[in-house]
Every structure is written in structure tokens, then in C-alpha cells.
């Protein structure tokens, strides 16, 4: 059973993630008006928002500690927040600042926080094998740490996922694959790309435990995840957990969504996991003022993180050549009086 | 074929974006040949993330404009298999960066089958893929990988820089009996959300025409230096050449258009005239297109070469933050500076 503090913590994470993304959306669109130009504004590039996915991150990560590993896909913010990723430095990273988690090199799809063993990346199902590797490490080192790979329902047709299931199963590794089923992979509805409605059944083919949570509800997710993560931690092997979530936004900012029926958008808007969570909290005796207090605290924390991030310096161009083992331009042959942009060996 | 009679871009009033020109060619080939079809992610209802299949679903339906699962190994390999049966699939890899999840099918199967079968099996498949950066999409969504694909034998590699070429090269690609990798730069497509520079939108004839592979295009004639480039950087090189002209430096600009086959002769001819070669490439610095072009120039025109240089991306993954990506990307100013330094 979910306790009072856990409920409060999960709600806090969910409203933090939701408000965080509302603020990111505002910042992202600034400078992209009136005409949307992906490379303009304080946050350039792609931005995949996870509004409607919060129950999954909160319900699963409630069972994790810092030493447990999480890999997430291109839609990472809610998971990162629930895993306890440094919010200030994550925000600075999204704004491309020097003090960001990756010094501005990664951006929102490539967030790494080794303090809490979190990483995400932009190639579909790419995080599955590394999660298996983290689980393998836990087994070899005899710790009771676990690993969790988050992925979308579109990603479960990818070889990297299916091969990971098999490897994890045959090695009996402490890893859980969490499928966030939001019904869509960009413009492709689930039924166009798989005949198996319940993605967790992919596990059965590997003789692995698989379970689906139909309700977009953090408490139900919490209970199912308790089972899956407990199984991994106790040395009883991997499992797959599929969670129904909803995509409240386009695939990425700027997605015209002309492929998506209006009713589907409306359904996703109506079926809000945060509203559902508030009902849960009330059932557990929380007062309106309690909820309001949690929300205010979350908003304040987000606003502070964004203010802090926007004050941070941009990286120096020279940083381009750091953090990689490479033939740097410093080693390129000297050419007479060539004024290249930087690191031409001038300061040596 | 009425090749010789096809008017050039400047003789045509009807201007198209590069994406419209590509779509027009694909649609034309699909009308003429039942065996041409399109497979990819988000190619049907979305019309391609970069508009490369926009409008095709309405005319041809889901049977021929096929959305497929995110299973690149399976659908690229299926493209190879269908092509081995004689069909002419156009398979889209949404970003060239995703080649990693299906490279075995591409380079061990698509590229090698004709050779390994002693020429008894051909693979008339077109692999269409988006390349390039300049919009802060970071290390996994911004690469061009020109050199990677051109390095591996068995694939023709095509890189249009404008709508006119995009259409003609697409016709040639689909009709070609060998596998063709058709790499289009996102920044050139004319997307509403990613403004293109001046240049890629050109006059495009309505009729079918082919642009033969292995014919580079001299975009600007000049006497003092030869700038060889491709894709987005054709436009940056032309812009640099304009600026240089004001200072009395007369640069020739060559658009390679295809990397495999490579039109070495046009490059050598130009280098023999100017004596100076600058290769501009958005791909990584080492072991790639720039090194190859300079090697060919030294092999073929050593005695005429007074100076060479290259303006490329560095050998680092592509950083996200704007100041870093600007540093990474070869700019118009970088090109102009390089030309100045070797013509002084
Ligand atoms: C290997 C690979 N193929 C394609 C893509 C492009 N892509 C990015 S997100 C996405 C859809 C993913 O759908 P899903 O896994 O359901 O996650 P969601 O976006 O719905 O959260 C695709 C096809 C990619 N990043 N990597
Ligand atoms: Mg999805």
C-alpha cells in the first residue's frame, strides 16, 4: 500500500514536471514567433514534452534510490525529475549553458546525471542495452541495485529492445523495462505498427514476467512497479511493465498534429493523470490547502531553476574541442595567416 | 530521352522548394511504374518529417506509401529483399544518424549483393535520408555522414543542393539498377519551420528529366581559387565567393552533386586553371570527403597545385549549444578566410 509521504512525493514530482514543461514551452516559443523557426529563441532544437506521462515516472521512480540506474528516451523530463536529476543543471543544459549537466553539449535529449545514475538519449530503444549493462554490473558486484529502461510503445519494435529482453532474461538480470504507451509514435498509431495491443506480452516470448497497467494512474503504476522492481532487487530476474499514458501535446514542439483526430487529443486532455492523482490524495485525507501548498512549492522550485539557468554563461566556442579523444584542429597543419574561428594554436 | 531539351533552372518560372521537387519525382515514377513504392517512418499521414513524401499518401494510399514500425533493420532489409526481387523501393531513414541501427542491412546486404552475386542479382533500391545540422539538434540528429556512406563500396551517393537537381537526381536514383543513397540536407528542404537560405528554391521543369550521376556542376566560374563542396555548403561557398569578388578574388565554386560516382575530371580541370583548391565539407575532418578530394587533386594535378586547404567540421561529435554548434559548423566567413589565406 502506498503511504502518505509517498503519495505526497509522487504528486510533488508530477506537478513539478508538468509546470516545468509549461515553463519550458513558454521559453522555447520565445523568439519563435510569429514564424516558428526551430533554430531560434533561448531553447533551440527539438523539444519533446512529456505532459501526460508523469504518472509513469513518479510511480516507477518512487521505488528507486540514487544508486539504481535509469535510462530514458527522447522524452525524458518527467523521468529525470522523478529520478532526482539536478533540476538547475538540467535546465541549464536545456538552455545550452556552460554549467549545464553536459556543459551545453547534450541538450534536452542527452541529459546525463551520474550522481543519480540517469541518462537519456535520442535514438529509439538505445537506452535498453545500457540498462542491461548496469544490471549486469549490479549482479557482478553483488549489490542489490537495479536498472530501469524507459521507452515508448513505438520503441518495442526495435531490435535493441527485443535483444535486450533476451539477454536480460537468459542472464537473469535485475532490470525492468518500462513501456510508456501513449498510443502514438510521432504520427503512427500503435495499431499500424504492431498487432499486439498489450506491449508487455513481448516479455512472454522470453519467458519473462510482463504486466500492463491500463489506468493512467500513479498509484496503480506504483503498485505494479513495486512488484517488478522488487522482483529484480530480490534476484528474481527482469520484467516488462507497460503503462498507459497520454500524449497531451504534439510529438515535439511545432508538430502540426494534422494526422491526429480531434477526439484523440480531447481524450488525452480529459484523461489527466494529475487530476486523477489529486482525487487519490483527497481520498487519503489531503485537504485542498495541502495540494495547493505542494503545487506552490513545486512552482517556486521550477521558477528558481529556470531563473538560475538563464543567468548562466554560454559555453566558450573552444569547449567544442574538449571532452573527446580526437585529432583536434590544434594538430591540423599550420597554414600561413589562416584566420580560423578558434583553437588555431594561437595561444601556444 | 529528351535530356538535351530539358530547360535549365533559370529558364523556368515555376519555382519549387527542394522537398516539392523530390516529391514530384517520386510521384512521377510511382505513376509510371507500379513497382515503385515508399517505406519509412511517418512517411504516410505525416508526409515525412522533412516533407520528403508530403502529399503522396493522398494519391497512392497506404499500400504504396507505407508507414512501418520503428524497426530499421527489418524495413531496410525488406527494402533490399524487395529490390532483389526487382521492385524499386524508396526507403526513408528519417535521419542519416540512425544508420547505426540498420547498417548491416545497408552495407553488408544492400551495397554488396550485386558484387557478391557476381552481378547476377541487382538491388535497385533508393535509400532517402535527411542529413545535416545548423539547428541545434545535437550529436545524434545532425550528422551528414557523407564520407561514411561514400567510403563503403557498392552504393551510389547523391547529395542535391537545390530543387532542380533534387528532382533530376531523384528520377535517376529510382531508375538506377544499383542501390542509391540519396542524402538531402534538412536546411535546404524549404520547411516552414526551418527557413532555407537563398538558393535551393529554383525553377523546376514539370516534365521528367534525369541528372546523370558523376557530373559535378560548376556553379560559379572563377580564376583564382576552386572551392569544391556539396549540399548546404554550396550556398555558403557561393555567398563567400560573392564577398571575395568585392575584394577582387575570383573564386570558382563546384557542386559535386554526387560523391559516388565522383566527377574528378571537373575538379581537376578547375584546379589546373586556378592552381588553388579549397574543399568545404560539413562532415568530419579526417578520413572523409575533404581528404579524398585533395588526394585526387594531388594525384591528378600535382604540378598545377599551388595551395590546398579544407574547411570542414572538426573531429568531434556535434554539440548542442548554439555557440558550440556555430563553432563546429564551417561558416561562410570560415570559407572566405581560407580562400583569402591561400590566394594572398
Ligand atoms: C532508431 C530511430 N528511429 C527513428 C527515430 C525517430 N523518432 C524519434 S521519436 C520517434 C517515435 C517514438 O515513439 P515512442 O517510442 O512511442 O515514444 P513517444 O515519442 O511516443 O514518447 C521516432 C520514430 C529515432 N529517434 N531513432
Ligand atoms: Mg508513443
In this model, does residue A137 exceed pLDDT 60? yes
- Quote the pLDDT of residue A326: 74
| Domain contains A8 | yes
The whole model's pTM is what? 0.96
What's the pLDDT tens digit per position in A223-242?
999 999 999 999 999 999 99
Are the beta carbons of A154 and B69 separated by less than 8 Å? yes
Cβ-Cβ contacts under 8 Å, B323 against chain A: 96, 104, 314-317
Do both B149 and B118 map to the same domain? yes
| Domain contains B318 | yes
Answer yes or no: B141 catalytic: yes
The answer to whether the CB of A175 falls within 8 A of the CB of A117 is no
Mean pLDDT within B250-269: 98
| Domain contains B281 | yes
A43's CB contacts (< 8 A; 6+ apart) are A24, A27, A28, A94, A95, A96, A108
Do both B228 and B108 map to the same domain? no
Do both B85 and B124 map to the same domain? yes
CATH assignment at residue A144: 3.40.50.970
In this model, does residue B259 exceed pLDDT 60? yes
Do both B193 and B231 map to the same domain? no
| Domain contains A118 | yes
Mean pLDDT within B26-30: 98
| Domain contains A98 | yes
Q: DSSP code of B119?
A: T
Nearest Cα neighbor of A157 from A120, A185, A132 is A185
| Domain contains B149 | yes
Do both B128 and B246 map to the same domain? no
Report how far residue A54's alpha carbon sits from residue A245's, in angstroms, rounded to the nearest whole number.
Answer: 8
| Domain contains A51 | yes
**Domain boundary residue among B203, B230, B249?**
B203
**B101 CB less than 6 Å from ligand 1?**
yes
Do both B161 and B226 map to the same domain? no
Do both B27 and B153 map to the same domain? yes
Nearest Cα neighbor of A128 from A152, A99, A112, A104 is A152
Mean pLDDT within A202-227: 97
**A219, HSE (Cβ side, Cα atoms, 13 Å):** 17
CATH assignment at residue B238: 3.40.50.920
Do both B79 and B164 map to the same domain? yes
**B60, HSE (Cβ side, Cα atoms, 13 Å):** 30
Report how far residue A332's alpha carbon sits from residue B309's, in angstroms, rounded to the nearest whole number.
Answer: 11
- Quote the pLDDT of residue A341: 41
Do both B187 and B259 map to the same domain? no
Per the structure, the count of domains in chain B is 2
- Spacing, Cα A328 to ligand 1 middle (Å): 33
Are the beta carbons of B46 and A186 separated by less than 8 Å? yes
**A122 CB less than 6 Å from ligand 1?**
yes
Q: Which three cell numbers stand for residue A256?
A: 502540426
| Domain contains B210 | no
Report how far residue A46's alpha carbon sits from residue A30's, in angstroms, rounded to the nearest whole number.
Answer: 14
With cell 572563377, the residue in question is B222
**Domain boundary residue among B203, B225, B245?**
B203
| Domain contains B154 | yes
Do both B149 and B22 map to the same domain? yes
Domain hosting A130: range is 4-331
DSSP three-state, residue A119 = strand
Do both B170 and B229 map to the same domain? no
Domain hosting B275: range is 217-343
CATH assignment at residue B35: 3.40.50.970
Q: What ipTM is given for this predicted complex?
A: 0.96
**Number of the ligand 1 atom closest to the C-alpha atom of A126:** 1
Amino acid at each position: 500500500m502506498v503511504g502518505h509521504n509517498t503519495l505526497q512525493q509522487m504528486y510533488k514530482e508530477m506537478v513539478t514536471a508538468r509546470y516545468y514543461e509549461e515553463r519550458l514551452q513558454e521559453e522555447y516559443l520565445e523568439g519563435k514567433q510569429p514564424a516558428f523557426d526551430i533554430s531560434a529563441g533561448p531553447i533551440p532544437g527539438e523539444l519533446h514534452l512529456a505532459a501526460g506521462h508523469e504518472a509513469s515516472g513518479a510511480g516507477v521512480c518512487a521505488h528507486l534510490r540514487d544508486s539504481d540506474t535509469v535510462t530514458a528516451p527522447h522524452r525524458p523530463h518527467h523521468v529525470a525529475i522523478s529520478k532526482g536529476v539536478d533540476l538547475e543543471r538540467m535546465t541549464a543544459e536545456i538552455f545550452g549553458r556552460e554549467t549545464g549537466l553536459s556543459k551545453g553539449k547534450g541538450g534536452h535529449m542527452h541529459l546525463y546525471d551520474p550522481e543519480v545514475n540517469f541518462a537519456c538519449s535520442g535514438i529509439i530503444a538505445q537506452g535498453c542495452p545500457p540498462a542491461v549493462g548496469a544490471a549486469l554490473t549490479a549482479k557482478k558486484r553483488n549489490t542489490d541495485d537495479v536498472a530501469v529502461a524507459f521507452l515508448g510503445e513505438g520503441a518495442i519494435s526495435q531490435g535493441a529492445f527485443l535483444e535486450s529482453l533476451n539477454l536480460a532474461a537468459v542472464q537473469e538480470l535485475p532490470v525492468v523495462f518500462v513501456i510508456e504507451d501513449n498510443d502514438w509514435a510521432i504520427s503512427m498509431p500503435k495499431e499500424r505498427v504492431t498487432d499486439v495491443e498489450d506491449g508487455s506480452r513481448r516479455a512472454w516470448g522470453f519467458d519473462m514476467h510482463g504486466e500492463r497497467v491500463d489506468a493512467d494512474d500513479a498509484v496503480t503504476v506504483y503498485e505494479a512497479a513495486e512488484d517488478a522492481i522488487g522482483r529484480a532487487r530480490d534476484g528474481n530476474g527482469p520484467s516488462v511493465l507497460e503503462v498507459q499514458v497520454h500524449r497531451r501535446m504534439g510529438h515535439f514542439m511545432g508538430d502540426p498534429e494534422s494526422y491526429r483526430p480531434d477526439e484523440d487529443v480531447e481524450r488525452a486532455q480529459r484523461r489527466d493523470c494529475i487530476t486523477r492523482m489529486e482525487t487519490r490524495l483527497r481520498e487519503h485525507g489531503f485537504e485542498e490547502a495541502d495540494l495547493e501548498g505542494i503545487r506552490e512549492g513545486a512552482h517556486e522550485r521550477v521558477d528558481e531553476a529556470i531563473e538560475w539557468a538563464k543567468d548562466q554563461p554560454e559555453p566558450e566556442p573552444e569547449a567544442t574541442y574538449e571532452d573527446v579523444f580526437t585529432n583536434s584542429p590544434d594538430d591540423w597543419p599550420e597554414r600561413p595567416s589562416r584566420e580560423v574561428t578558434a583553437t588555431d594554436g594561437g595561444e601556444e | 530521352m529528351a535530356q538535351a531539351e530539358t530547360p535549365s533552372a533559370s529558364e523556368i518560372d515555376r519555382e519549387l522548394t527542394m522537398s516539392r521537387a523530390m516529391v514530384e519525382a517520386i510521384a512521377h515514377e510511382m505513376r509510371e511504374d507500379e513497382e515503385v513504392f515508399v517505406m519509412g517512418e511517418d512517411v504516410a499521414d505525416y508526409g515525412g518529417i522533412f516533407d520528403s513524401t508530403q502529399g503522396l499518401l493522398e494519391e497512392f494510399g497506404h499500400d504504396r506509401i507505407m508507414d512501418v514500425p520503428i524497426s530499421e533493420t527489418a524495413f531496410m532489409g525488406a527494402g533490399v529483399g524487395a529490390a532483389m526481387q526487382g521492385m524499386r523501393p524508396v526507403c526513408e531513414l528519417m535521419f542519416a544518424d540512425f544508420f547505426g541501427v540498420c547498417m548491416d542491412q545497408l552495407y553488408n546486404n544492400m551495397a554488396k549483393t550485386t558484387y557478391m552475386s557476381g552481378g547476377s542479382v541487382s538491388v535497385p533500391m533508393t535509400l532517402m535520408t535527411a542529413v545535416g545540422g545548423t539547428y541545434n539538434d545535437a550529436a545524434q540528429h545532425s550528422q551528414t555522414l557523407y564520407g561514411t556512406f561514400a567510403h563503403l563500396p557498392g552504393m551510389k551517393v547523391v547529395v542535391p543542393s537545390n530543387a532542380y537537381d533534387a528532382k533530376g537526381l531523384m528520377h535517376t536514383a529510382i531508375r538506377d539498377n544499383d542501390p542509391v543513397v540519396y542524402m538531402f540536407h534538412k536546411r535546404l528542404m524549404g520547411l516552414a519551420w526551418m527557413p532555407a537560405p537563398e538558393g535551393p528554391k529554383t525553377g523546376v521543369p514539370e516534365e521528367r528529366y534525369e541528372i546523370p550521376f558523376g557530373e559535378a556542376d560548376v556553379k560559379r566560374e572563377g580564376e583564382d581559387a576552386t572551392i569544391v563542396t556539396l549540399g548546404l555548403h554550396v550556398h555558403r561557398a557561393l555567398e563567400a565567393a560573392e564577398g571575395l569578388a568585392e575584394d577582387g578574388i575570383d573564386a570558382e565554386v563546384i557542386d559535386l552533386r554526387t560523391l559516388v560516382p565522383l566527377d574528378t575530371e571537373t575538379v581537376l580541370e578547375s584546379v589546373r586553371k586556378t592552381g588553388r583548391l579549397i574543399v568545404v565539407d560539413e562532415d568530419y575532418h579526417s578520413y572523409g570527403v575533404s581528404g579524398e578530394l585533395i588526394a585526387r587533386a594531388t594525384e591528378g594535378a600535382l604540378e598545377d597545385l599551388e595551395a590546398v586547404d579544407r574547411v570542414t567540421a572538426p573531429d568531434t561529435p556535434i554539440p548542442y549549444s548554439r555557440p558550440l554548434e556555430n563553432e563546429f559548423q564551417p561558416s561562410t566567413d570560415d570559407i572566405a578566410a581560407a580562400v583569402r589565406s591561400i590566394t594572398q
